[in-house]
Amino acid sequence: MSTFFEKAAALDKNDELAHFKNHFENDPEMIYLDGNSLGKLPLKTIETSANIVKNQWGKRLIRSWNENWMNLSSDIAKKIAQIVGAQPDEIFVGDTTSINLYKLLFASLSLQKEKTDIITDDLNFPSDLYIIQGLIEQQFKNHSLKILKSEQEVFMDTQKINAAINTNTALVTLSLVSYKSSFLYDMEAINKIVHKNKSLIIWDISHAAGATTIQLNKTNADMAVGCTYKYLNGGPGSPAFLYVRKDLQEKLNNPIWSWFAHQNPFDFNTNFVPDTGIQKFAISTPSILSLGAIVPGLDLLLEAGIENIQTKSNQQSAFLIALIQHYLVPLGFELVSPLNEKQRGSHISIKHPESYRINLAMINPVNKNEKLVIPDFRPPNFIRIGITPLYTSYLDLYEAVVRISEITKTKEYETFSTKRLKVT
């Protein structure tokens, strides 16, 4: 019997977070390693959502706005604030990550129009880059975007950011954890460099929130956006959040003047008067059904404690890296993610010339008795193995790596076409 197997079993036995697995919908025939893309369903969410639909909507109808719904967004903001190291009145929950980024980009570029450089990098999420490009084309025509080039789409040297920023830099925007390689920035160091140059920063923490310790306040971050359907387990397309540091809130203005950003929306005045505080970044009637579904996942994270989750993520990543080096590197795989845990989020990326078809074979085993393993694929040839400490076990990681090695050795992937599916 493999020593890795024994080690995995022992690590699971001593894992103080192991029981959280039972709070999620679980298929014993499947190993799910894609929680960094869509988190699992917390069992309690089924009950919570049914209650909102059947009772709050079904029976209480319009009365539910005052009874349960008007404070739902800010109640969730309080929970998210604890997860990302912010104050409750610095977080707004609603809309999507991309829309929230649009609002904050517009607001911060308008604040200091005399500066025209925007800096980001090629590790950032493509949607973020598109939004900046669109704003320059449509609104900030004198601005220019500089996309810094990473080392092999994996790593960025902080010195390179330092060298790129100058007094004409209006804004820096980066993903804290890169969706591709899992590279993690030193938030504090970058914030210092940005502020030394009197510039502003927007962090996209979508790929970090819920798996990595984030200290927005302690590191003096200006602004951030993030999503709730990855490590926060809020469900497909669940509402996102934004963060604006308290002292910046009065200086920044939501570009979309709408009634939920109004000081007194239910006075129905004909003129817009913006709300003060974080609520000024709202737009519309909150999406109650999907907001309600976020709560149980957040409660589980808070109960487990984000530091404990981070510790387990580091331990599981170290175990997974050892497995990859033992089983997969000899078969032609390359470990892509940084080896230093301080520079890594909660997924491990590997690559192989046949990554796309190996990923397909994992999800669609030819022999139906094989365990289903679900990671995901990102171009050009990355397989991402997501570690979600609340429900990933060490045995899951062991079995997944052994399965990848079997697929590669037997060339089971050759039964699949290289033609790409719409969602990979």
Residues annotated as catalytic are 125, 204, 229-230, 384
Going by C-alpha positions, the residue among 386, 389, 216 that lies closest to residue 300 is 389
Among 68, 169, 175, 388, binds ligand PLP (CB under 6 A): 175
Q: Is 168 in the site for ligand PLP (CB under 6 A)?
A: no
Specify the 3-state DSSP secondary structure of 86. Answer: coil
Q: Which region, judged by CB under 6 A, interacts with ligand PLP, from 12-20, 56-64, 90-98, 341-349?
A: 90-98
Interface pattern 226-245 for ligand PLP (x via CB under 6 A): -x------------x-----
Cβ count within 10 A of residue 276: 10
Cβ count within 10 A of residue 214: 26
Minimum Å gap between C-beta 125 and ligand PLP is: 3
Q: Number of residues in contact with ligand PLP, rule: CB under 6 A?
A: 13
Q: Given the complex with ligand PLP, which of 338 and 404 has the nearer CB atom? A: 338
Among 96, 220, 308, 310, binds ligand PLP (CB under 6 A): 96
Contact partners, residue 232, CB within 8 Å, separation at least 6: 39, 80, 83, 209, 210, 238, 294, 297, 298, 301
Binders of ligand PLP among 97-116, rule CB under 6 A? 97-98
Interface pattern 207-226 for ligand PLP (x via CB under 6 A): x-------------------
Going by C-alpha positions, the residue among 109, 185, 193, 122 that lies closest to residue 153 is 122
Going by C-alpha positions, the residue among 35, 76, 96 that lies closest to residue 299 is 76
Q: Is 204 in the site for ligand PLP (CB under 6 A)?
A: yes
Q: Given the complex with ligand PLP, which of 229 and 356 has the nearer CB atom? A: 229
DSSP, res 184: B
Report how far residue 369's alpha carbon sits from residue 28's, in angstroms, rounded to the nearest whole number.
13
The helix (H) or strand (E) run that includes residue 171 is strand 169-175
Q: Given the complex with ligand PLP, which of 96 and 311 has the nearer CB atom? A: 96
Binders of ligand PLP among 125-154, rule CB under 6 A? 125, 127-128
Minimum Å gap between C-beta 255 and ligand PLP is: 17
Whether the ω angle into residue 265 lies within 30 degrees of 0, i.e. cis, is no
Going by C-alpha positions, the residue among 95, 140, 147 that lies closest to residue 126 is 147
Minimum Å gap between C-beta 261 and ligand PLP is: 19
Q: Given the complex with ligand PLP, which of 11 and 119 has the nearer CB atom? A: 119
Among 150, 206, 249, 388, binds ligand PLP (CB under 6 A): 206
Going by C-alpha positions, the residue among 62, 89, 52, 61 that lies closest to residue 74 is 89
Q: Given the complex with ligand PLP, which of 207 and 351 has the nearer CB atom? A: 207
Q: Which residues bind ligand PLP (CB under 6 A)?
A: 96-98, 125, 127-128, 175, 179, 204, 206-207, 227, 240
